[in-house]
Amino acid sequence: MYKRIAMATLTSLVMVGLAGPNTANAQLGITAGPSFAQLSDIDVGDTQATFDNATGWHAHLWLDLPMGPIAIRPGVRYMDAGALFEDAMVNEVRYGRREKTSLIEVPVDVRFRLPVPAVTPYVMAGPVLRFPVGRHHKDKYNRLSLAGGAGVGLEVGLGPAKLYPELKYTFGITRFTKETYEIGDTMIRPDKSQRMNAVMLSLGIGL
């Protein structure tokens, strides 16, 4: 269901973009690369849990709509966030199970491009909707959460195409996990601050 929602969102955004005044300069592109995600730690009453970084990957399909120095970039991103719970320490006991976490994300980035020819640096920021997918997620994660994203990148012209090396950071805004869930034999009741944050390195191409 969430994949259909994400694809319907991207289709709608593309149709809106193509109907706008800057259609001639719009670019459809894809970025991909490694990601490094982490759940925030828990310290509630007699329960303490800490989580290490998990290594995964992501692929991001987007539409870039330039408007002078500003560009709007709606898209859909798949993220394999890695095994977030594999090295979790719960009350000083290591959990150790490898359960991959996967997400469908819908980011809408606003890019501010500096006026430099050939190689154009930029900063970007915007909201991100997150939809966890997979068999492990229904017991631990909320069906929908809100995050924010920020990053830097370079726009490198290669004739009709452009390359986009980027460094991005996404941070949770609303609760990512459920109000209660289990890690091994321990019932976890995280406070409202438990969220998922991630760093992404990307290389993209726009046509």
What one-character DSSP code corresponds to residue 41? Answer: P
pLDDT at 4: 57
pLDDT band per the 50, 70, 90 thresholds, residue 181: confident
> What are the distances in angstroms from CA 101 to CA 105, 115, 186?
13, 39, 20
Q: How far apart are CA 177 and CA 184, in angstroms?
A: 16
Q: How far apart are CA 40 and CA 114, in angstroms?
A: 34
Q: Vertex 81, ends 163 and 75: CA angle to 5°?
A: 45
pLDDT at 55: 95
User: Which residue range forms the structural domain that includes residue 52?
Assistant: 2-206
| For residue 98, pLDDT beyond 60 | yes
DSSP, collapsed to helix, strand or coil, labels residue 102 as strand
> What are the distances in angstroms from CA 125 to CA 5, 75, 114, 150?
22, 13, 15, 4
pLDDT tens per residue, range 55-93? 999 999 999 998 888 999 999 999 999 988 887 888 877
Mean per-residue pLDDT for 101-123?
92
pLDDT at 8: 56
Q: How far apart are CA 56 and CA 185, in angstroms?
A: 26
pLDDT at 21: 43
Domain CATH number, residue 45: 2.40.160.20
Percentage, residues of the chain above pLDDT 90: 52
| For residue 46, pLDDT beyond 90 | no
Sign of CA dihedral 20, 27, 160, 149: positive
Q: Tell me how many domains the chain contains.
A: 1
**Residues composing the chain:** 207
Say if residues 121 and 153 touch (Cβ distance below 8 Å). Answer: yes
pLDDT at 1: 53
pLDDT at 79: 96
Percentage, residues of the chain above pLDDT 70: 85
pLDDT at 111: 96
pTM of the model: 0.85
Most confident segment among 70-79, 92-101, 190-199? 70-79
Select the more confidently predicted residue: 17 or 73.
73
What one-character DSSP code corresponds to residue 144? Answer: -
Q: How far apart are CA 172 and CA 145, in angstroms?
A: 8
pLDDT at 138: 74
Summary mean pLDDT of the chain? 85
